[in-house]
Amino acid sequence: MEALDYHAEERRKAEFDLEEMKIVWAGSRQNYEISDRMARLVASDPVFRKDNRTMLSRKDLFKDTLRKAAHAWKRIIELRLSEEEAHMLRSYVDQPAFTDLHWGMFIPAIKGQGTEEQHEKWLPMAYKMQIIGCYAQTELGHGSNVQGLETTATFDPQTDEFVIHSPTLTSSKWWPGGLGKVSTHAVVYARLITGAQDHGVHGFIVQLRSLDDHSPLPGITVGDIGMKFGSGAYNSMDNGLLRFDHVRIPRNQMLMRVSQVTREGKFVQSDVPRQLVYGTMVYVRQTIVSDASCALARAVCIATRYSAVRRQFGSQNGGPETQVIDYKTQQSRLFPLLASAYAFRFVGEWLKWLYTDVTQRLQANDFSTLPEAHACTAGLKSMTTSVTADAIEECRKLCGGHGYLSNSGLPELFAVYIPTCTYEGDNVVLLLQVARFLMKTVSQLGSGKKPVGTTAYMGRAEHLMQCHCEVERAADWLKPSVILEAFEARAFRMSIACAKNLSKFSNPEDGFSELSPDLLEAAIAHCQLIVVSKYIEKLQQDIPGKGVKRQLEILCNVYALHLLHKHLGDFVTTSCITPKQGALANEQLRLLYSQVRPNAITLVDAFNYTDHYLGSVLGCYNGNVYQRLYEEAWKDPLNDTVVPDGYLEYVWPILKQHIRTARL
């Protein structure tokens, strides 16, 4: 069975160098080699098997997660893996675990908000996993509104301690991953109170469990919040609840890089600007954007490979039926998602550069680009995660009925992925933050202050308000300058329209609330412009490999013109293009689908995902779908017996008419 390759003919059609495309996808040859090595290391290790995840009970699933996390750490130590290699290995294990929050939130929070002394004390223990941490911010009653958190940290000058307390039911910490059963420590966010004064929300390092027997420390109530959406999915994670009953911690366990409390109980702002806190936020959100491209690529890989295997209708004179991927309806739904995966990959690369640039500027006390970077990462986190969540579900539909099976890999991928639309900032709330930034930028246009970075296009206000699209034939839409100007004009005119409507309100906040749906659309237009512009910038770089750049150009045009088609109303109503030009864009889009088709399988091969990582019988590399589906069916526990448990008690009496209606 393994020797067969039902996709071999599809792969022979490819018009580009696959190995070079793999390197482009990975970002560099070094990244590709590390990724490939770690993926194969995980796939070849029987401890990391995951084909039975959906059949495990919650307790067995969680124990399986603990086993895999411990084995991963053992392999990391044995092989002396670098930080990057270790991160790759954990990601390919592909099972949400307490380690995600330890490495992804707990350590970055201490690095970003702790003093040098706190770094020296806590980070060595955290890096060696002598302590395991989580990030306890969200409460039962408050998530997005961080300033509304209710947990208190009251300074006691008599003992030089903070008293951490949960004054209400809704102040219970709720949702932190790793908290429920594993974490020994947490970065807890609470309202800092000195004397009778509330200084707002600050972070504190709090020990939760004994390092001897793992029991909760006095005053701490902690547990798991229960089953979540999906079968395996995020149920491998111990999302937790936490309450404090006057728990005391030393004063030096407040994260004091930005602000401090003295021995006398005086609240003092340090010399380090408070904006540094946003650096950690920018870091976390840029990683989420990169993860979005991976999740989207995974779903697209499954749907594309299956669409090339599945045949339905179209048979003539006894010949084979038509491959589903050859239907234009399938292409028009699938290929824009394929293009989006590449687009998100490239904007994710750019965000990594942006984070590095912002970090260097912050260290030099240059905060000029921070507001723009904050808005940019907030908007792209929102847009890419929303699109990816919807796209995974669309890929499930593209796989027909078989996509509903757990072993298709898509239901579980969807269940694991959709929390990203909420955590690290609710997507709607984040877009409204972007909208505020855009309105502020527009308001400063006449002041002589030039917009920078991703809002630099607003500096050409007069041109963007007056320009008209010069498209006369479909092929004109292949010009990057034409596409870019259309997206810039649309984004700018939508922002200007919102600003004008806001000016009609005597109270700006009332206006913002009333016009929030329009502001959301303007924010989305701005974010889509960023992705399109960064993709075009990518194409201006030197891209080696036979046919690679040509394929990336095709996908870039598919991405942009699909967005134009989807949001045609915005482009037309803002007079950026005419209805006829919109029709020409759609005509060109159909032609582009035909150019993607011969390369579709090889384009998803470039993601270089192992069958183990994909976890999908529909998306397997060799395309032997039906044999695998049949074999997997017999592995289900229900098929352990021919006659089901419960037959004699419940089915037999029905068949033999032994059940009688009781008389009342």
Give the residue ranges of the annotated binding site for FAD.
Answer: 138, 177
Q: Write out the binding residues.
A: 138, 177
Active-site hit among 10, 424, 485, 553: 424
CB 287 within 8 Å of CB 104: yes
β pairing state of 185-194 and 197-207:
antiparallel
Reading the block at residue 21, the tokens are: 């495309």
Residue 237's nearest CA partner among 134, 107, 143 is 134
DSSP category for residue 47: G
The alpha carbon torsion through 10, 16, 22, 28 (nearest 10 deg) reads 180
Tokens 């500027």 appear where?
A: 361
Q: CB-side exposure of 32: number of CA atoms within 13 Å?
A: 15
CB neighbours of 136 closer than 8 A, spacing ≥ 6? 173, 176, 179, 186, 187, 188, 189, 206, 242
Distance CA 255, CA 204 (A): 6
CB neighbours of 434 closer than 8 A, spacing ≥ 6? 375, 378, 379, 382, 523, 526, 527
SS3 18: helix
Q: How far is CA 233 from the centre of its chain?
A: 15
The answer to whether residue 321 is catalytic is: no
Residue 345's nearest CA partner among 586, 75, 35, 664 is 35
DSSP character string of 192-234: EEETTEEEEEEEEEEE-B-TTT-PBPTTEEEEE----STTTGG
CB 328 within 8 Å of CB 596: no
Q: Which helix (H) or strand (E) holds 34?
A: helix 29-43
Distance CA 645, CA 566 (A): 51
Distance CA 489, CA 474 (A): 20
Catalytic residues: 424
